[in-house]
Structure 1
Amino acid sequence: MANGLDDVVAAETVLSDVDGLGGRLTIRGHSLPELAGRWRYPQVARLLLDGFFDDLPGDAELAEAIGRARVEVFQRLQPTLSTLAALDVYSGMRAGIALLPDGGTLADALRLIAAPAVLTPALLRAKRGDKAVAPDKGADHAADMLRMLSGKADSPDLARALDTYLVTVCDHGLNASTFATRVVASTQAGLTSAILAGLGALKGPLHGGAPGPVIEMLDAIEASGDAAGWLRDEIVHGERIMGFGHRIYRVRDPRADVLKAVVRQLGGKGGTGRRLAFAEEVEQAALEVLRVAKPQRSIQTNVEFYTALLLEAAGFPAEAFSNVFAAGRIAGWIAHAREQQTTGRLIRPQSRYVGPVPDLVA
């Protein structure tokens, strides 16, 4: 039996392929470098959803429809913001999404794509006592997310960087949250129910919770003044080095290179210049420390390391990093849910009982 379902094929999909040995990510026939920084997020959302909704419009029309969906979600959920803001920002977003209709139409899908982009800025503003900023239906999706967060039009470079991030994390094989989404979708439950399953899985620190601790790690290392010493001490005490290692990749995570390039392109915007230089020093120290401490394993930089720098530069606090990840991944979740419902069957694996056996009475 495969522990953790390693190497078990649980679905056939046209959506994405993760080549862990080659360090390549393919999304519907396109390599990640083909998409990231070249396609906007609504275009990639359309790529993922193609074939799963009969009324799916073209790229421009879909971008406009997502803009209208942002406005609709804001209008629906604005009265609940003060209640949702009493929760942590991730739980508040999840609770808000649970209030959306639980159907299977394209309109339902677009509301779900819009929801994290709308709720995350609104909840962060509510927590600091600021009024929520309404969406602009005509704005670019990532740019509008930043505008709703800061209250003003942000740098086009920052908006482009966030857009590239959303594209980079839009889908990634049958990871824990995507599998959870497909399990619920296989029951023919609505899209909101399936997405809530994905959100629940993403909340766990072994899946979507690591970019925030990368910031804490960088701050702690900077305060210590000794990157290698700090990292060695963490390993000695059995702690995980945040932003390094991946369940699938045995080489460098290709998403890390994409996001590192994006952070470099930002120059000094959002305070990234000095932060990036320091992070690169920490990255090199960590790779060397891990090589010496765990020579039997190839532990490389993963997507979380440069995600942390990018989202910090964009103005998101560490506690909201998983929210922004969800804003990118949600189009992939929806596509997987629809694929499961249209081409798969009810997911019902077997288990092996290893508990005590009752005495049989003759």
Structure 2
Amino acid sequence: MIEKGLKGIVAAETLISHIDGEKGKLYYRGYEIRDITKRYSFEEAAYLVWFGHVPDVTQLNTLKKQLKDNRDLQENLRVILDQLPPSMDLMSVIRTVISAEAGNLDYGWKPTTSQAIRLTALVPTIIAYRKRQLEGKEFVSHRSDLDFVANYLYMMNGKVPIKAHIEALETYMILTLEHGMNASTFSARVTASTESDLVSAVTAAIGTMKGPLHGGAPSGVIELLNEIALIGDAEKVIRERLAKGEKLMGFGHRVYKTRDPRAISLKAKLLEMAGEDQWLDLAMEVEDTAINLLAELKPGRSLYTNVEFYAAAIMKAINMDAELFTPTFTASRMVGWTAHVLEQAENNTIFRPQSRYVGTFR
């Protein structure tokens, strides 16, 4: 029997995360995701995923310093960024620049946590540099007094973001920094299993993330919210889309058979901001309408909001253009990818699945 796409096939053991799709649970290193988003910062969650335990104050401060010390782009990376054509999409830009980073340090086998931290620190700077470049604006250097998420927003926009926007985006980035053996993580582990370097592994992951079936969902949600905001009738818009057989972006998930725990955590954060942003309020209204209509028109399917639905509302609220959605997802998922590569390296076996020949013999 062939499981196309290796669906349901267990190919590795991991200590990093666990997804219980039937119960709608997600754990990082044994900690439930709702507890993590309530109690910890992005840096603390990253430390947990990389090192296996929550940091104490000294360990957290050390990690923050390491991330800050590795934010700057070396001159060769700036030169490459300046030479890339404006028409090149941002995910391809990130992939190209990260690939070029391989020449700046010894990224040979085995990968190290220090390498993982450096690559994670670089991605927000690459995104911000490219964004400002295309806007014809001067690059904004990082601020050492700002942590990972706040500094990312600052470098992109040139001003210190408001607390609500920092907290909303930080919650999203914690929720998306790791999610098991998804397509991009699998790509990273396959590459690492050949004893290739960490840069090659994450470059493969970035290329996989670029595909619209993996990293592109929020754009479709924005289109839905924009149409509802224009017409002013969520039920009418959603009924018409479903009647045409269109997929309702932001609802349903391949793994979760009940509510996506990341969407629950993100909604809880946004409820704290109720009334502060019209797009966040609209998203919560649309969610209720959509879930009711999906239950009516697609009974038994258990289609609920996934994390990308509220991610789109957050991106809209902080005025982040659609082309920045997947790159921002990438900036957080660097933590999970690198953690999996490190884990793969500790007990490595090369991935070598078989295929079945279905052609003719002549």
| Contact 1:43–1:63, Cα closer than 8 Å, also in 2 | no
| Contact 2:280–2:317, Cα closer than 8 Å, also in 1 | no
1:293: which partner in 2?
297
1:131 is aligned to 2:149: no
Residues 265-303 of structure 1: per-residue CA shift (max 9 Å, x gap): 33455xx2x222222222122112222222131111000
Gaps of 5+ in 1: none
Task: State how far apart, in whole Å, the 2-side matches of 1:109 and 1:187 are.
Answer: 18
How far apart are 1:88 and its partner, in Å?
A: 1.8
2:271: which partner in 1?
264
Task: State how far apart, in whole Å, the 2-side matches of 1:4 and 1:329 are.
Answer: 22
Q: Which aligned pairs between 1:211-230 and structure 2 lie closer than 5 A?
A: 211-230=218-237
Residues 215-247 of structure 1: per-residue CA shift (max 9 Å, x gap): 111111222333223222222333211100100
Q: Secondary structure at the match of 2:18?
A: strand
1:280: which partner in 2?
284
The 3 A distance-change label for structure 1 pair 296 and 161 is closer
Task: State how far apart, in whole Å, the 1-side matches of 2:11 and 2:26 are.
Answer: 19
1:6: which partner in 2?
7
Residues 158-207 of structure 1: per-residue CA shift (max 9 Å, x gap): 22322222111111111111111111111111111111111111111111
1:317 is aligned to 2:321: yes
Residues 89-145 of structure 1: per-residue CA shift (max 9 Å, x gap): 222222221211244233322221012211112211111111111112442111111
How far apart are 1:74 and its partner, in Å?
A: 5.7
| Contact 1:74–1:118, Cα closer than 8 Å, also in 2 | no
For 1:94, give the aligned amino acid: R
Identity score, percent: 39
1:202: which partner in 2?
209
| Contact 1:37–1:160, Cα closer than 8 Å, also in 2 | no
1:43 is aligned to 2:47: no
| Contact 1:84–1:123, Cα closer than 8 Å, also in 2 | no
CA-based RMSD of the aligned residues comes to: 2.0
| Contact 2:192–2:341, Cα closer than 8 Å, also in 1 | yes
1:245: which partner in 2?
252
For 2:162, give the aligned amino acid: S
2:342: which partner in 1?
338
Residues 291-316 of structure 1: per-residue CA shift (max 9 Å, x gap): 22221311110000000111222332
Task: State how far apart, in whole Å, the 1-side matches of 2:310 and 2:332 are.
Answer: 15
How far apart are 1:76 and its partner, in Å?
A: 5.0
| Contact 1:143–1:154, Cα closer than 8 Å, also in 2 | yes
| Contact 1:263–1:309, Cα closer than 8 Å, also in 2 | no
| Contact 2:113–2:342, Cα closer than 8 Å, also in 1 | no
2:35: which partner in 1?
34
How far apart are 1:264 and its partner, in Å?
A: 2.8
For 2:312, give the aligned amino acid: A
TM-score for both structures, normalised by structure 2: 0.91
Task: State how far apart, in whole Å, the 1-side matches of 2:197 and 2:38 are.
Answer: 32
Gaps of 5+ in 2: none
How far apart are 1:79 and its partner, in Å?
A: 2.8
| Contact 1:85–1:126, Cα closer than 8 Å, also in 2 | no
1:150 is aligned to 2:162: no
1:81: which partner in 2?
81
Task: State how far apart, in whole Å, the 2-side matches of 1:277 and 1:325 are.
Answer: 23
